[in-house]
Amino acid sequence: MIDLHCHILPGIDDGAQTVTDSLAMAQKAVQEGIHTIVATPHHQNGKYTNERTSIIHQVKQLNDELQQNEIPLKILPGQEVRLYGDLLEDYEAGKIVTLNETNKYILIEFPSNHVPRYAEQLLYELRVKGMIPIIVHPERNAELIERPDKLYNLVNKGALTQVTAGSLLGKFGKKIKKFSLQLVEHNLTHMIASDAHNTTTRGFHLAESYELIGKEFGMHVMSDLKENPYLLISGKAIYKEDPEQIRRKKLFGIF
């Protein structure tokens, strides 16, 4: 399996803190059937700034460590970019890492409690530049949970989304699990990734989540979600169905 979203680079965000942590995460990933990880450190989220040059260097260093320790895992460069006003300018300035440096896909994070007013316009401008934004963990965004039509509109206009494996398994609570399953059911997500930060509280859970999807939605849906990461790291078009709107039931039927 390929994991598209993981905080495995040491000492640069709230993921692995040391090389030892990174190697422990790598061993756990391999045990769970993962052979390739896209390292996606936080960028411009209000606490961490990790620009392209630094990430590329760190990825090379960690791959060297993995080779020396004979851990059969490949690390590819990526970045979890909090949506911010100067994103396009910073991309032009070479500070942004697209998924595996293909200049095609970019992982975009919203604040946890809302969707910025300028989100739709900025995502549109990214697409004009030939990039496809992937909105990460939309199932954990408070505004999108309450207003799934907002996510539908963004997906309908060309954005992709990535749901966290742990969300599907209830690791973030029942409400987020339910919404995650609805996103899969309504073709509003296109890939699953771990968003792993460590081996204890925020692990991988990828194989478990694919198994759950297979049981709930059938092998065809599971197979597409599992195959898409291979296409993404090559900069190719992914498998996807037309998105469907999630109908929110009105309270008590009186509105």
The per-residue pLDDT for range 210-231, each reduced to its tens digit, is 999 999 999 999 999 999 999 9
pLDDT at 255 over 70: no
Sign of the CA dihedral with 235 first, then 239, 245, and 246 last: negative
pLDDT at 250 over 60: no
pLDDT-derived band at 254 (thresholds 50, 70, 90) equals very low
Please report, rounded to a whole number, the percentage of residues in the chain having pLDDT higher than 70. Answer: 97
One-letter amino acid identity for 16? Answer: A
pLDDT at 200: 86
- Which residues touch 120 (CB under 8 Å, ≥6 apart)? 153, 154, 157
How many residues make up the chain in this entry? 255
> Other C-beta atoms within 10 Å of 107: how many?
23
State the average pLDDT over residues 232-255: 81
pLDDT at 251 over 90: no
pLDDT at 242: 97
Place of tokens 């040391």: 18
Contact 54, 12 (CB under 8 A): yes
Q: What is the pLDDT of residues 89-141, one digit of tens each?
A: 999 999 999 999 999 999 999 999 999 999 999 999 999 999 999 999 999 99
pLDDT-derived band at 248 (thresholds 50, 70, 90) equals confident
Q: Which residues pair with 2 in a beta bridge?
A: 36
Q: Can you give the residue ranges of every domain in the chain?
A: 2-250
Question: In angstroms, rounded to a whole number, what is the distance separating the alpha carbons of residues 200 and 195?
Answer: 13
- Could you tell me which of 245, 176, 202 has the C-alpha nearest to residue 3? 202
> Other C-beta atoms within 10 Å of 138: how many?
28
Give kind and range of the element (H or E) at residue 42.
strand 42-43
pLDDT at 201: 82
- Could you tell me which of 118, 131, 36, 119 has the C-alpha nearest to residue 75? 36
Give kind and range of the element (H or E) at residue 39.
strand 36-39
Q: How far is CA 9 from CA 19, 145, 159, in A?
A: 8, 30, 27
Q: Does domain 2-250 have CATH number 3.20.20.140?
A: yes
pTM, rounded to two decimals: 0.95
Q: What is the pLDDT of residues 7-65, one digit of tens each?
A: 999 999 999 999 999 999 999 999 999 999 999 999 999 899 999 999 999 999 999 99
| Separation of first and last alpha carbons in the chain | 46
pLDDT at 249: 62
- Which residues touch 193 (CB under 8 Å, ≥6 apart)? 3, 4, 5, 6, 136, 162, 163, 164, 165, 206, 229
Q: What is the pLDDT of residues 151-185, one digit of tens each?
A: 999 999 999 999 999 999 999 999 999 999 999 99
